[in-house]
Structure 1
Amino acid sequence: MKAAGKTLCVFMLLTITKVMETAENKSVPVTIGNSIVLLCNPKPNVTTVTWKIGPKVGGPCTLGYRADQNKTDRTNCSDSMNWKYRPDWDPALEIRQVGIAHEGEYTCEVAGPDGYFTDTYHLSVLVPPRLSLFCDDLGNPTCEAVAGKPAAQIFWASGGNSTSKLEGHDEGTVTVLSKFRAYSTSTKLTNTTCIMSHPAGNQSKSIDCYPPGNNDSTLLACIISGLLSIIIFMAVIYYFKLRGDRKCYKTEPPEAAPTHSLQDDTMEVEPYTTYVQKENIIYNSVSDLTVGQNIPQGLLPAT
């Protein structure tokens, strides 16, 4: 009896340990947009295989297989989730184009002659943040990791103090803003490096910032560049105006006015002169005839 009791106790302890091992959640991170395969321990002569999926967003879904009917079914599962292979010999689950909505708990349940086994995964979706580095109005280097999941960590390679601010978004992402302040605020901050640490990948950027009042050289360079631009612009305008004036001088000369010769005047007056001369000849002839014959002029025939 004592031996049987000890054997029973050992069997129960082993069973509890096995159940605890199989029921332990496995955390699986995956970067958004990628695909992933969740394994389910294949067993010989399985009778049923069921994937139970509980996403954080939306309702649960299930994928099932029954060996006696050689049939699969799905309930409320999107097309992005399906069996990777044939569930009768490898019941792995494949998720394509992982999105934030896929985050949640995934449990595979296998029943067969050897017992009942489960594999549980906690799927976490990683969103790599967008890193930007710039100088604020006071000349402080500012590093921003936009919309990351989880929140990124920001470090500064140079010696100084930094302050950080976090901003959460509806889809679960977080933006981290970190400002760097050097121990001395009167000098230019050259090659200041921001380092971003994130599970989806690390990044770094460097920048030069100028404190207010110490950027006279930059202002002078801007003024000189502006003046040079104005001078060049005026020179171009003058050049094209000068070319336009030269084109005007090269135009064809106006047509010469027609000369009025004395011969033309003579030709115009000649008919009239001839007419007057003929009239005078006729008049003189009549006068001579009148005088010679003493005929009153009033009785002369009309000429």
Structure 2
Amino acid sequence: MKAGADMNIAGKTVCVFVLLTVTKVTRTVGYNRVSVTVGNSSVLTCPHKSNRTMVTWKISPKVGGPCTLGYRTDQNKTDRTNCSDSMNWKSRPDQDPALEIRQVGIAHEGNYICEVVSTEGNFHMMYHLTVLVPPRLTLYCDDHGNPVCEAVAGKPAAQISWVLESIFTPREEGHDNGTVTVVSKFTSYSSNMTNTTCFVSHPAGNQSNSIACRPSENSFILHASIILCFLSVFTFVAAIYYFKLHGNRPCHKTKPSETAPNRHTPQDDTMEVEPYTTYVQKENVIYNSVSDLTVGQNLPKGLSPAT
């Protein structure tokens, strides 16, 4: 039992010694985040160690496959695998193993590791490269006379703000290459606005521009048409209500004024008597005719009634 315990202790001691040796031999010198504006050049350095025997750059871009650049001191020889011409040694690798990236593009974004093997041990330097794309600032007036600011195709997305207080909601539109377009429309609290300034904030640099917008004629005509239409509808509804309110009242016969004297003319008497006189005359004629006929029937033959 005692011998087995001693063996376990010895095994653990060996493991700890090996781990400490590996840690001492292989060291990570640093991890760095680097941002580069698209189109510029970037230089990534390696740990400066004497008695270097081999240097290797291992590159893993987000777009495309990995590539490697290597140099061996004993053979004074360099090699490259799947690396574009834009990535190469900054100078002679036996003097300076730094990596230079010319005309940085979005495709270069990714992880870069430099491994140095020397008599002192193995050393690593790690980089994460981020490519910045400054947006293109565009400022214009829309059809309604509102200023519109666009930060086109920026990476990362830009931040838009206005000098004057306003109501605006930025809208983002992503693109296949990783860039983002941000659009912001300015809506002023006051109609007396004459000049507005748009600010675009971005890690690659800030930009600003100003513009003066006036309400368009089409917008004025539209607003005037809406107001006239509203007034016409209001007038029509008011007229209907008025006629409906006064049309339902019952009709009352107007009484003659009691104070006004009744003017009675002789012509009025004549107009009232003439119908009665005509009627009496007609009755008398009919009566005389009937009377003559009756008398004639009762006389003896040979006699006729006197006319």
* TM-score normalised to structure 1 length: 0.62
Structure 2 gap ranges (5+): 1-12, 221-307
Residue 33 of structure 1 aligns to a residue whose secondary structure is coil
Give the counterpart letter for 2:176 in structure 1: D
Residue 48 of structure 2 aligns to a residue whose secondary structure is coil
Structure 2 residue corresponding to 1:127, chosen from 116, 119, 133: 133
Q: Distance in 1 between matches of 2:76 and 2:192?
A: 73
2:58 aligned with 1:52, yes or no? yes
Give the counterpart letter for 2:155 in structure 1: K
Q: Distance in 2 between matches of 1:211 and 1:158?
A: 18
Structure 2 residue corresponding to 1:32, chosen from 18, 33, 38: 38
Give the counterpart letter for 2:141 in structure 1: C
Contact 2:144–2:219 (8 Å) recurs in 1: no
User: Cα distance, 1:128 vs. partner?
Assistant: 1.1
Q: Distance in 2 between matches of 1:25 and 1:192?
A: 44
Structure 1 residue corresponding to 2:211, chosen from 207, 212, 215: 207
Alignment-derived partner of residue 182 in structure 1: 188
2:164 aligned with 1:161, yes or no? no
Contact 2:158–2:182 (8 Å) recurs in 1: yes
Contact 2:115–2:124 (8 Å) recurs in 1: yes
1:247-258 superposed matches below 5 A = none
User: Cα distance, 1:189 vs. partner?
Assistant: 2.0
2:84 aligned with 1:67, yes or no? no
User: Cα distance, 1:49 vs. partner?
Assistant: 0.3
Give the counterpart letter for 1:107 in structure 2: I
Q: Distance in 1 between matches of 2:41 and 2:216?
A: 49
Contact 1:188–1:208 (8 Å) recurs in 2: no
User: Cα distance, 1:213 vs. partner?
Assistant: 6.1
Contact 1:47–1:67 (8 Å) recurs in 2: yes
Contact 2:133–2:204 (8 Å) recurs in 1: yes
Residue 101 of structure 1 aligns to a residue whose secondary structure is helix
Q: Distance in 1 between matches of 2:93 and 2:218?
A: 70
Alignment-derived partner of residue 194 in structure 1: 198
User: Cα distance, 1:138 vs. partner?
Assistant: 2.1
User: Cα distance, 1:36 vs. partner?
Assistant: 1.1
Q: Distance in 2 between matches of 1:12 and 1:71?
A: 33
User: Cα distance, 1:166 vs. partner?
Assistant: 0.3
Residue 205 of structure 2 aligns to a residue whose secondary structure is coil
- Identical positions, percent: 66
Give the counterpart letter for 1:199 in structure 2: P
User: Cα distance, 1:89 vs. partner?
Assistant: 2.5
Give the counterpart letter for 1:211 in structure 2: P
Structure 1 gap ranges (5+): 217-303
Contact 1:83–1:94 (8 Å) recurs in 2: yes
Q: Distance in 1 between matches of 2:217 and 2:83?
A: 62
User: Cα distance, 1:211 vs. partner?
Assistant: 3.1
Alignment-derived partner of residue 103 in structure 1: 109
User: Cα distance, 1:214 vs. partner?
Assistant: 10
Q: Distance in 1 between matches of 2:182 and 2:149?
A: 8
Alignment-derived partner of residue 140 in structure 1: 146
Give the counterpart letter for 1:210 in structure 2: R
User: Cα distance, 1:168 vs. partner?
Assistant: 0.5
Contact 2:165–2:188 (8 Å) recurs in 1: yes
Alignment-derived partner of residue 171 in structure 1: 177
Instruction: Give the root-mean-square deviation of aligned CA atoms.
Output: 2.5
Aligned length: 204
Q: Which has the larger radius of gyration?
A: 2
Contact 1:156–1:194 (8 Å) recurs in 2: yes
User: Cα distance, 1:12 vs. partner?
Assistant: 4.9
Residue 212 of structure 2 aligns to a residue whose secondary structure is strand
Contact 1:188–1:210 (8 Å) recurs in 2: no
Residue 194 of structure 2 aligns to a residue whose secondary structure is strand
Residue 98 of structure 1 aligns to a residue whose secondary structure is coil
User: Cα distance, 1:159 vs. partner?
Assistant: 1.2
User: Cα distance, 1:25 vs. partner?
Assistant: 2.8
Contact 2:51–2:118 (8 Å) recurs in 1: yes
Give the counterpart letter for 1:114 in structure 2: E
Q: Distance in 2 between matches of 1:134 and 1:163?
A: 17
Q: Distance in 1 between matches of 2:219 and 2:184?
A: 23
2:83 aligned with 1:83, yes or no? no
